């Protein structure tokens, strides 16, 4: 099991029974996560959730006079809540407060890393802002159904994320539409350069193409390239990072933000052309670990809709958390406590941020449907896309062309018992979502059939008596 880094604070003897109990709960959750022989049932998840809340209430009672206490109890509690949160997503209860816990933890790290990186796209912030509002609504609506201890914690974490988000949004507030377009292009290029930097074989040709794009932007903006005679590109890049930050209290004007980012891009091109993708040997193990995590998360993107169980993300989260929390003052350090050079620091940070971004993507794209109903739901999604594509392509020539779709839709509709999709004697979560999607598919098929029949009727309509038929 991948555990969180353990606190070294001595454990209060009165908290030992709580630690023992939540360790047992975590073990049960982990076994439930590993069991692929059957789908996860909502009742099992809720059972462990209530047991965990009971322990939180006991802990809060003990800590009435020491609210800031942090020890191993807290790290194991965090493990449990992370797992519970992902289980709520797995069973399709996405809109309930416990499901928010893992998402908020991931977003907090993403926002920290975007701040640290010093560049980000407005689209990054728009997505996070949109989902923060959704999660805040879930927490508000959960007041009667969930423990106030959990809700207070979630509200506090959401507030922290909203504050950090507002700082990042403010830093781009003076970019006009034209400058914003250039800024977004620079962000895309800088990220692409960082990705090139992590390939198994350094793509010199691709890097040169990105450099040409940067020089073209430089010419359009009438900027000049940094003259760092007597200093390396790494030294000048480090100086720029130290002297400027997108999140300074004084918000820079649009041209200054774009000009600074362009300078960083041009310097970073020089840095990676010199390094050729070679990482300091002291950090090769960490680099290889992050590359593997990034690649595994990226590959999950190909099969996400069909095979991803949200609890699968737990082990990735925990491994990334351990790497992130092993840093000292934001620096990656070696076994002897020495920090990495700037090139390794920025490359490792890119891999860390990219991996968290994949986890965020999978969490927010999780459908509010139990994994028991996901096979049906995914089939309906595919049918809907096919019917929409047929509609966009001009429709059908004959109702007969709809037979395969109609047969599949009817077979799915016939699976319902008393209007419910059953799995054994259970009624899995997500009934409304699956039924709504089925209805959409039937509506699309009906529209296509009606359009086709209308065209046939028009073609077969006999001419009005006395009307001359054109030759």
The more confident residue out of 281 and 424 is: 281
CA angle, corner 368, sides to 362 and 373, nearest 5?
Answer: 105
Q: Write out pLDDT tens, residues 38-54.
A: 889 999 999 999 999 99
- pLDDT attached to residue 350: 95
pLDDT tens, residue by residue, 161-210: 999 999 999 988 888 888 899 999 999 999 999 999 899 899 999 999 99
Bridge pairing between strands 416-417 and 420-421: antiparallel
* Residue % of the chain over a pLDDT of 70: 89
Q: Which 3 state secondary structure label does DSSP give 373?
A: coil
Q: pLDDT at position 27, please?
A: 96
Which of 334, 347, 207 has its CA nearest to residue 290?
Answer: 347
Neighbour tally for 137: CB within 10 Å = 12
Q: What is the pLDDT of residue 283?
A: 94
Helices (H), 393-430: 403-413
Q: Where are the alpha helices (DSSP H) in 197-283?
A: 204-221, 233-243, 254-275
3-state helix, strand, coil in the chain (%, to 5): 70, 0, 30
Sequence-separated (6 or more) residues with CB below 8 Å from residue 469: 463
CA distance 356 to 294: 9
- Tell me if 323 sits within 8 A of 289, measured CB to CB: yes
pLDDT at 6: 47
Which residues have CB under 8 Å from 179's CB, separation 6+? Answer: 254, 255, 257, 258
Mean pLDDT over the full length of the chain: 87
Question: Which residue has 């070294």 as its token pair?
Answer: 8
Phi, psi dihedral angles at 407 (to 5 degrees): -65, -40
Q: Which helix (H) or strand (E) element contains residue 316?
A: helix 313-325
Judge whether residue 407 has pLDDT over 50: yes
Q: In this predicted model, which residue has the larger pLDDT, 470 or 335?
A: 335
Question: What is the average pLDDT across 401-420?
Answer: 92
Mutual angle of helices 97-117 and 342-364, in 10-degree steps: 150
In this structure, the chain runs to a length of: 471
pTM: 0.86
pLDDT digits (tens, 9 = 90+) for 246-261: 444 456 777 888 888 9
- Averaged pLDDT, 127-136: 96
Quote the pLDDT of residue 400: 87
Sequence-distant (≥ 6) Cβ neighbours of residue 247 within 8 angstroms? 115, 167, 168, 171
The reported pLDDT for the residue numbered 321 is 94
């Amino acid at each position: 099991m991948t555990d969180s880094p353990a606190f070294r604070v001595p454990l209060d003897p009165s908290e030992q029974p709580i630690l023992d109990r939540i360790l047992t709960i975590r073990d049960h959750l982990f076994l439930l996560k590993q069991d692929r022989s059957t789908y996860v049932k909502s009742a099992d998840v809720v059972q462990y959730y209530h047991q965990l809340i009971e322990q939180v209430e006991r802990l809060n009672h003990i800590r009435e006079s020491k609210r800031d206490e942090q020890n191993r109890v807290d790290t194991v509690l965090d493990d449990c809540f992370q797992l519970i949160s992902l289980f709520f997503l797995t069973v399709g209860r996405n809109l309930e407060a416990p499901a928010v816990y893992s998402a908020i933890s991931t977003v907090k790290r993403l926002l920290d890393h975007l701040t640290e990186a010093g560049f980000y796209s407005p689209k990054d912030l728009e997505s996070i802002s949109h989902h923060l509002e959704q999660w805040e609504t879930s927490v508000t609506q959960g007041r009667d159904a969930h423990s106030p201890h959990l809700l207070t914690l979630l509200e506090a974490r959401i507030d922290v994320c909203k504050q950090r988000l507002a700082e990042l949004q403010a830093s781009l507030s003076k970019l006009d539409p034209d400058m914003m377009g250039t800024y977004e292009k620079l962000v895309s290029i800088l990220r692409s350069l960082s990705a090139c930097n992590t390939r198994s074989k350094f793509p010199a040709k691709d890097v040169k193409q990105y450099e040409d794009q940067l020089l073209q932007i430089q010419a359009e903006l009438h900027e000049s390239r940094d003259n760092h005679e007597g200093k390396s590109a790494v030294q000048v890049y480090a100086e720029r990072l130290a002297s400027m930050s997108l999140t300074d209290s004084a918000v820079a004007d649009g041209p200054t933000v774009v000009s600074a980012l362009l300078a960083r891009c041009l310097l970073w091109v020089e840095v990676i052309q010199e390094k050729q993708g070679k990482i300091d040997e002291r950090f090769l193990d960490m680099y290889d670990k992050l590359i593997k995590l990034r690649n595994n998360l990226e590959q999950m993107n190909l099969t996400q809709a069909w095979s991803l169980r949200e609890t699968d993300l737990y082990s990735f989260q925990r491994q990334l958390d351990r790497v992130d929390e092993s840093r000292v003052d934001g620096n990656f350090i070696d076994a002897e406590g020495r920090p990495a050079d700037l090139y390794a620091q920025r490359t490792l940070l890119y891999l860390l941020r990219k991996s968290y971004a994949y986890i965020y993507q999978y969490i927010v794209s999780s459908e509010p449907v139990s994994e028991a109903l996901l096979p049906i739901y995914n089939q309906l999604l595919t049918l809907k896309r096919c019917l929409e594509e047929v509609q966009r392509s001009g429709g059908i020539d004959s109702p007969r062309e709809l037979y395969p779709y109609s047969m599949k839709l009817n077979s799915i509709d016939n699976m319902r018992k008393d209007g419910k999709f059953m799995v054994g004697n259970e009624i899995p979560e997500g009934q409304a979502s699956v039924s709504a999607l089925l209805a959409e598919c039937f509506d699309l098929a009906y529209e296509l059939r009606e359009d086709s029949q209308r065209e046939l009727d028009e073609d077969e309509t006999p001419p009005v008596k006395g009307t001359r038929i054109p030759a």
